[in-house]
Amino acid sequence: MSIESVAVIGAGVMGSGIAAQIANAGKKVLLLDIVPKDAENRNVIAQSAIQKLLKAKPSALMHKRNAKNITAGNLEDNLNQLADVDWIIEVIIERLDLKQDLYKKIDAVRKPGSIVSSNTSTLPLAVLTAGLPDSFSNDLLITHFFNPPRYMRLLEIVSGPKTQQQAIDTLSHFCDHELGKGVVHCNDTPGFIANRIGAYWMQTAMLDTMRLGLSVDEADTLSGKPMGIPKTGVFGLIDLVGIDLMPHILDSLVHSLDKNDAFHEQAIIPDVVTKMIAEGYTGRKGKGGFYRINKTSGKKVKESINLDTGEYATSVKPSLESLKPAIAKDLQKFLSFDDKGGEFAWSVLSKTLCYSAGLIPEIGDNIEAIDRSMKLGYNWTYGPFELIDKIGVDWFIDKLASTQLSIPPLLAAAKGKTFYRFHDGQRQCLTLSGDYQTLTREDGILLLSDIKLQQQPVKKNASASLWDIGDGVLCLEFHSKMNAIDPDILAMIDTAVDIIPNDYKALVLYNEGSNYSVGANIGLALFAANVAAWPQIEAMVKSGQDTYKALKHAHFPVVGAPAGMALGGGCESLLHCDAIQAHAESYIGLVEVGVGLIPAWGGSKEMLSRWMTNPKRAKGPMPAISKAFELISTATVSTSAQEAKGDLFMMPTDGISMNRERLLFDAKAKALALLDGYTPPVKLELTLPGPTARTALNLAVTSFVQSGKATAYDGTIADQLAMILSGDDTDIDELHDEDDLLTLERKAFMTLIKNEKTLSRVQHTLETGKPLRN
């Protein structure tokens, strides 16, 4: 059985978001909701939801055209169309009576064997199926998506004793491969895995913050980076989720959990939170939350609430001793430090980790399911058991004992061991019995983190490594700060170009950082510019150009495999690959103009070439030149891999992997597929119109400068870009090869880097992370 068409019932934020992600996968979706009383347009709820999807920021759709995959309807006129779909997802209000009534209507019209699932986060499957015929229960599961469905990778699937294995397998495969989800199979327990632990953690942190008299800013800093949790921390996350949702989540868990469950001790809503909700301070979707942006002075000022008084004040960077790097980077020191920060960290982590350990096997069959859920659902860097390993199992147990805290059986079984180990070439995790079980990856998943457990790199320096990923393919991994391209990375590319023809077959550019690369390390250029080391700067530019040119014309296939941001010099590395296999959530663009520069490692040349040779372009050189000029001068960044294809940052033949865990496997397969009959790209030769084109491009920018939409210096940068794309002082009959265009890139770069306004932009960006308009 395969899934080709889907129906989503319930066109609210969650239902429409799920429909959008299915549409992103190229599947047809029927989106249904009720008919409002006296409505002239009977499909108004679903149609309005689709319109909101088109306007949403960040977008639920990977490309606006994907909205065409969604058909709006209603539950009265279009219910019979459920007979045509393979999977029906119920996403209505959390009321059992309404859900079961809907299930009876669905069962009357659905085709035999079609899968039905509920997105409930509070009602157990056993309750949902109570009183329903086995023929329906056999095909009913829970598929718990996390909001927003496009961006949150976790999908919890709950099946029951009656659920057919074929339904479980079909749905798991589809959600993994087509929707890009990290599928975790959970037991049928309240809150499943992620919200059971996540809600406990958030409540514990909030109550401990108030007990210890910490500020919101202090608590979020303490519970952020030092614990491997996103910088939003706890209060920032609650603002994002919606403060008004917390009482509903707690109420559901309190009524569902055993009276002896430790969750009850933390299920308290402080008065200040009740007051915030009543006054509309429900988080980012309301007037503000634990944080708000105050614009009364004409500037955006971040403020945080005082949990004692309920008053807002300007957020202040915490200065606790426990947050000093020498302490915060060492978890044992951090958790033992004698100040409010250390006490908070120990109290929150010890309770949360012990609670997690006590939930095995109630909520999941093994510790990896719990760790995976928290990493994919709450974006933790480490799951609870990975975190205990990082702290030190025995140290953690001893400290629990010294503070008279009870030790869960699973934790006691780990004494003298670790929860995870690599043994006899296999990843293993600890079980309740104290033995280890082998962990296996599904077919089609290849992770660099696993490879690193099994071998040493082929070559390595401070910023990059080469790894043998099998079948004659090398993987070049960036691991500089933020994966910024620097001389060490360029040197490793040169090394790969040298050694692969003798001992290997192909190369993949890939890493498992949050972002593929944020661009070139512009701090190096700024340092050199401050001492007027102009020859050294030009040599750096030439070195990058030579390296990327060698990569492009290497005698073996090169595949770029980005995920996250691939900006500036990172984007340029991809533009010189034979092919790209990108994660769906890849954000690709040439952003150099933001710091007063232009792409000078071949990026301007490659974008010009792609648009000039695009078979669908309009006739004549100017449409292609204008499009390349537009994309580079506006620092356009694609908001998805699908969008990157439209901008030609990716080519139509490039691939997209929906699931990031499958990206390296897919990229390796693409590289191997290119081997048969492989020849390097032909040498580039273009005819360019010269000064007339430069003048035309500058005229377009002048209107933006005159209207105040661009600064005069933006015009200066644009003129240098126009000089490159037009071919400078050339004749229309003159051919330009790669070296000609690279020379123009260097000329423009050097002109701009010597300007004080560019140096100010670079300095400002390095200090604030934001571009400067001067």
**Domains 5-186 and 197-280+320-423 in one fold:** no
Within 10 angstroms of residue 156's Cβ, the number of other Cβ atoms is 26
pLDDT digits (tens, 9 = 90+) for 60-100: 999 999 999 999 999 999 999 999 999 999 999 999 999 99
- Tell me what the pLDDT averaged over the chain comes to: 95
Residue 731 has pLDDT above 80, yes or no: no
Question: What are the structure tokens assigned to 164, written together?
Answer: 């057919």
- Give mean pLDDT, residues 305-312: 95
Residue 520 has pLDDT above 90, yes or no: yes
Bridge-based pairing of strands 115-118 and 140-145 is parallel
CB 340 within 8 Å of CB 215: no
- Give mean pLDDT, residues 172-177: 98
pLDDT on residue 587: 98
Q: Which CATH superfamily is domain 5-186 in?
A: NAD(P)-binding Rossmann-like Domain (3.40.50.720)
- Give mean pLDDT, residues 322-350: 95
- Give mean pLDDT, residues 317-323: 94
Of 201-215, 286-300, 551-565, 588-602, where does mean pLDDT reach its minimum? Answer: 286-300
What distance in Å separates the CA atoms of residue 722 and residue 729, rounded to the nearest whole number? 11
- Give mean pLDDT, residues 381-390: 97
In the chain, % of residues over pLDDT 90? 89
pLDDT on residue 735: 82
Strand partners, 183: 155
Residue 734 has pLDDT above 90, yes or no: no
- Give mean pLDDT, residues 516-544: 94
pLDDT digits (tens, 9 = 90+) for 447-487: 999 999 999 999 999 999 999 999 999 999 999 999 999 99
Q: Does residue 691 sit in helix, strand or coil?
A: helix
* Strand order through the sheet with 301-305: 291-294, 301-305, 312-314
**DSSP output for 27-43:** -EEEEEE---TT-SSTT
Band of pLDDT at residue 164, cut at 50, 70 and 90: very high
What distance in Å separates the CA atoms of residue 147 and residue 151, rounded to the nearest whole number? 8
pLDDT digits (tens, 9 = 90+) for 176-216: 999 999 999 999 999 999 999 999 999 999 999 999 999 99
State which CATH number among 1.10.1040.50, 1.10.3720.10, 3.40.50.2300, 3.40.630.30 fits the domain covering 197-280+320-423: 1.10.1040.50
What distance in Å separates the CA atoms of residue 722 and residue 622, rounded to the nearest whole number? 11
Q: Does residue 676 sit in helix, strand or coil?
A: coil
Residue 140 has pLDDT above 90, yes or no: yes
- Give me the amino acid identity at 616: K
What distance in Å separates the CA atoms of residue 265 and residue 259, rounded to the nearest whole number? 10
- Element counts in the chain: helices (H) and strands (E): 32, 25
Residue 312 has pLDDT above 80, yes or no: yes
Chain mean position to CA 10:
26
What distance in Å separates the CA atoms of residue 335 and residue 328, rounded to the nearest whole number? 9
Phi, psi of 20 (to 5 degrees): -65, -40
Phi, psi of 581 (to 5 degrees): -120, 100
Q: Which alpha helices (DSSP H) does 634-690 contain, by range?
A: 641-646, 663-673
Q: How many CA atoms lie within 13 A of 519 on its CB side?
A: 26
pLDDT on residue 617: 81
Cis peptide before 318 (omega within 30 of 0): no
In the chain, % of residues over pLDDT 70? 100
- Give mean pLDDT, residues 14-23: 97
Question: What are the structure tokens assigned to 618, written together?
Answer: 């309009």
pLDDT on residue 363: 94
Domain limits of the chain?
A: 5-186, 197-280+320-423, 450-753
Band of pLDDT at residue 512, cut at 50, 70 and 90: very high
Phi, psi of 477 (to 5 degrees): -105, 130
State which CATH number among 2.40.40.20, 3.90.226.10, 3.40.50.720, 3.40.50.2000 fits the domain covering 450-753: 3.90.226.10
DSSP 8-state code for residue 75: T
Largest CA-CA distance found in the chain, in angstroms, rounded: 85
pLDDT on residue 770: 83
**Nearest residue to 291 (alpha-carbon basis) of 207, 234, 230:** 234
Beta strands in 471-596 (DSSP E): 473-478, 506-509, 558-560, 564-567, 579-583, 586-589
Residue 733 has pLDDT above 80, yes or no: no
**Nearest residue to 752 (alpha-carbon basis) of 591, 534, 457:** 534
